[in-house]
Structure 1
């Protein structure tokens, strides 16, 4: 069902782009728009990982330069039934992580230095499991393609505000103005719909891969506070990069947010923990000053998916 929804959403974005092309240039404009979309998707398909990694100036690491992180990802990839992805570190004090690549065989996961300094080992495992879930669901390619098409719609709409060919043959002037105003907004809504749905799915799958949903929940709470306090370098330069990360750089769950509210994701992970037979410790936990829900210490029954030792 997720694959069908994604296909329909991508088709909707392509149709929006073609409709905007028709409004600006008639039938020829629609054909050109379709060719442009096809070219962009082709380029994105083959170069998604390189584009994203270059944008973040990420450096690849191995067992020699980052043995603990690489070993952790290797074990999680084994549990997830995935090939070992390339592992990158981004020199950025803002704590965050992302995954990229056109398929599991060409995937990469990255963590910022801020994340590695902030989280403990179980929390890092939860975050990396979440990113591997995106790889397994092939979200990395879809989100990059969606961002590419949505960005192109916005650029074409801005161009159309100043230049509109075809005269009245393709409708009254107000119709063209309406199209260039509505199209980027509609594209953004479609883009956000894909992103939010997939974050919840990746949280659930990541919890299963790591075996410790509350460690992921604790990581989300810490990362949200950290990302809000220290904006990411790449996200500051390119706002569209926000959708790639495990948490946004600002509060979520508004109409224009790329992610569900972190508190809602934590609540969903708590339900998953209960499903897995995890019970909360009766000791109270200190509430963070930012108001982000804290995550209780947990005790667990033995499970087939134990967290990393």
Structure 2
């Protein structure tokens, strides 16, 4: 908009793309620290959280990656997430509610799921997808604004010669493109959750452990206190307790597939 006002839309489009790319790269390298701060996570104490430590060690060995750093969030709602741009910088964080509620098989299932995200470089995948979605949105916005705010006699002459139907179709396509790109991004996120479930089950050789853990997490009636919409996609299950299997429209815009469906797939393994 600023670029169009000053007559240099192309320059500001490039600036927008650079800012979008920089923010994604910054998030890729430093989001772990930001997320831990936002949920008020603290390093896990080995003596206090002995099962957490030993389960983390066992799953790291099974996955063939270094032992992750372990953190705990003081929250009664059971949940967990992993972050880290690669296996050498992996962090697994669990709530106190999850650590107190899970048995050994369930805890290992949760940790295996989270380490699978790291081993599969899901953070890199979603960063690349985010950049592509942001680029599509910026380009579509730039074209729309250029069409709407275009100035000069040449633009006026061109408008008179345009096919109205083609103009409307182009307008609809430009409006729909960013939404479609976002839906694709969310669909990829849901597929990565299924993949992490499957890989986690392979690591433990006990898919029912993760299935039971997911059932307990989904069955807890209260959401997390410190979770935000910006960090919700990281957790093993929606920390706001919103999506249900029947709410198809909500699930369409969710980063996670329905827990009931994930449990069904695990039971069939």
* Fold shared, TM-score > 0.5 on shorter chain: yes
1:140 paired residue among 109, 123, 130: 123
Three-state SS of the structure 2 residue aligned to 1:239 is coil
1:205 correspondence with 2:195: no
Three-state SS of the structure 1 residue aligned to 2:32 is helix
Give RMSD over aligned pairs. Answer: 3.5
Aligned position for 2:255? 258
Aligned position for 1:243? 233
1:72 correspondence with 2:55: yes
Kept in 2: contact 1:37–1:149 (CA 8 A):
no
Aligned position for 1:270? 267
What displacement does 1:145 show? Answer: 6.2
Three-state SS of the structure 1 residue aligned to 2:37 is helix
Distance 1:23 1:122 in 2: 59
Distance 1:176 1:26 in 2: 19
TM-score (norm 2): 0.77
Three-state SS of the structure 1 residue aligned to 2:71 is strand
What displacement does 1:96 show? Answer: 0.7
1:191 correspondence with 2:195: no
2:226 paired residue among 214, 224, 234: 234
Kept in 1: contact 2:24–2:130 (CA 8 A):
no
1:87 correspondence with 2:84: no
Aligned position for 1:48? 31
Q: Tell me: CA distance 1:107–1:263, structure 2 relative to 1, closer, same or farther (3 Å).
A: same
Residue correspondences, number = 245
What displacement does 1:261 show? Answer: 1.5
Distance 1:202 1:250 in 2: 21
Whichever of the two has the greater Rg, that structure is: 2
Aligned position for 1:297? none
Distance 1:214 1:204 in 2: 11
Cα deviation code 1:67-116 (max 9, x no counterpart): 22111101110011011110011111221110001110011001111111
Q: Tell me: CA distance 1:149–1:98, structure 2 relative to 1, closer, same or farther (3 Å).
A: farther
Distance 2:235 2:2 in 1: 31
Distance 1:188 1:23 in 2: 26
1:118 correspondence with 2:108: no
Kept in 2: contact 1:99–1:107 (CA 8 A):
yes
With CA pairs under 8 Å and 6+ residues apart, which has the higher RCO, 1 or 2? 2
Distance 1:192 1:148 in 2: 14
Distance 1:56 1:218 in 2: 25
Aligned position for 2:150? 168
Three-state SS of the structure 1 residue aligned to 2:226 is helix
Q: Tell me: CA distance 1:165–1:116, structure 2 relative to 1, closer, same or farther (3 Å).
A: same
Kept in 2: contact 1:90–1:112 (CA 8 A):
yes
Aligned position for 2:213? 219
Kept in 1: contact 2:130–2:185 (CA 8 A):
yes
What displacement does 1:174 show? Answer: 8.7
Distance 2:244 2:4 in 1: 34
Three-state SS of the structure 1 residue aligned to 2:242 is coil
